[in-house]
Structure 1
């Protein structure tokens, strides 16, 4: 039989040669630290972008079990992907309410975050008094009503569960815009009634309790990123990528490795070819020795360029490594950010869909 005819008729696909080990205890510990730092405010969780690449449904379940009750996604497609969730959980859709989103918004329990006068009018006309959230722009100039629009009476008649804004420079504690946004948000809070008010993301929580209000919305910090000064030593690493060795080979002294012959072996070297590359979010910025794998505690430097699906690492100091072995890819977010010039957000969310995700 032609091999193509076997597809979809009971052939079991082999497991991927890539995996993400995700530490459930670290995830929960990080949320609990941010919850404690939020003081009397409730602590939610941003699970947009598939929980920054870790898997939104799995993250939501584990944080809900730990006590988190408020979750945030970007779009209605992300909300739908979560499937059913317990009635005592709250889900908000940050990007609001297009005309195309109305059927999904009216069919479920997730709340739209209304960002414009047009969204406000759309919800008033369609929702019959159902609760919503509202975003007010206090200085980021991204999404949200202006303070003047929020105070104008536009929101009269809405049942606002949470009034939100978003800090632009919370990762820089001394930036003057933080205090300006705090002042503006307080003035809006005094003018616009809502059940709760929310300003602080992960970095905003680190600015102190004045920024917490009634609800905080950590994201990056939950997943092992260090969002701002003050989180060091408290936030634990959550995700560790691993890749399988396809082949171990000896590269002769003077031979080159990879595209562009970018690396020349100074001596004969034992080299492992790993099944990971920029198609998996492990970008070329890690090439030329800026990245490494770990074999039994031994750092194995990356040699030459990162290819679409492959990298080469020096395993001369790890003689037990052989074909089929799994090596951890060093992926400390702060260290990798410094080495590559990429943000911690990019490093997390670019991890692709070819990984199997294993909760440990």
Structure 2
């Protein structure tokens, strides 16, 4: 969308820098990239283009619809949700590999002629994956497994489950014929090289998320929402702003109304807690965030006028604390009304 009154300023250099940092932390393991949910809301094709140029060769999506547009990039694409009957024709065409998650999916893939695939094994998360016992019983016999993977449930915490899962996964080395093993997500990379195995699969940290303290000062912010001022107005002391009169001014206040609201993914959790930024000045959100509009205090920015642009304070850890939303929700919730503008810094 062009000429929209809201945009996402997306920093190409920060994205690539984050991938290089995660690759370095992965040690000798290859470093891939999770780009499901349209690249966590930022645009999967744009992300693949930039990361492939940087050297990334392994990409992970959730569904076959997400895989289809990526066929022209010449990179490895794995479809995390496996293969349904409805997916067999596309999966058999060879543009991407299924990550087989269930006994039925494995039987379906074998019956369809097999071919290169990945397999998810459950090491304790109890979400997706075949069991360790099923693997020991020969479930994967006859499969051409490229990558055996599992997923950490608590990697963003110092939790005993992390080591239990790592040990359970490590015990499968050499028992499946898989060419590679992969366990670590973004947070898992920070747990150390013993979690990296052959391939890491970062997601949130690529896009500016900081799931563990080890990433502070290493991971750069990638996305900054910006919105245009629709109106500037004088609000006298003692007047309320926005729905339900949840905010009342204590002094004469200059207020700007922005083309932005919860329909765009700037959630109601930012009501009274969020802020915009202008030349390093914080401009607090006043009152309720509504569907399409927010109000900010621009008393300290007399130069701002109707039609000007301001950035939102959207460093993901800080924004998550302010809104009560997870860093993942703050990214994937960014709506289609934003114009997505990639820049190099």
TM-score range, shorter chain: over 0.9
Q: Which residue of 2 aligns with 1:239?
A: 223
CA distance in 2, matches of 1:354, 1:107: 34
Give 1:336 deviation, angstroms: 1.2
| Structure 2, unpaired ranges of 5+ | none
* Matched position secondary structure for 2:117: strand
Contact preservation (8 Å) 2:286, 2:295: yes
Give 1:83 deviation, angstroms: 4.8
Give the alignment's TM-score, normalised by structure 2.
0.97
CA distance in 1, matches of 2:136, 2:325: 39
Contact preservation (8 Å) 1:48, 1:72: yes
CA distance in 2, matches of 1:305, 1:337: 17
Q: Deviations for 1:200-241, whole angstroms, at most 9, x for unmatched residues?
A: 011111000001110000000000001213111110111100
Contact preservation (8 Å) 2:71, 2:95: no
Q: Which residue of 2 aligns with 1:358?
A: 341
- Aligned pairs, how many? 343
Contact preservation (8 Å) 2:265, 2:335: yes
Q: Which residue of 2 aligns with 1:328?
A: 311
Mapping of residues 1-360 of structure 1, within 5 Å: 15-86=3-74, 89-126=75-112, 128-173=113-158, 175-288=159-272, 290-360=273-343
Give 1:263 deviation, angstroms: 1.1
Contact preservation (8 Å) 2:264, 2:292: yes
Q: Which has the higher contact order (CA 8 A, sep 6+)?
A: 2
CA RMSD of aligned residues (A): 1.1
Contact preservation (8 Å) 2:82, 2:99: yes
Q: Which residue of 2 aligns with 1:3?
A: none
Give the alignment's TM-score, normalised by structure 1.
0.93
CA distance in 2, matches of 1:283, 1:43: 32
Give 1:14 deviation, angstroms: 5.8
Q: Which residue of 2 aligns with 1:9?
A: none
Contact preservation (8 Å) 2:2, 2:339: no
CA distance in 1, matches of 2:69, 2:191: 33
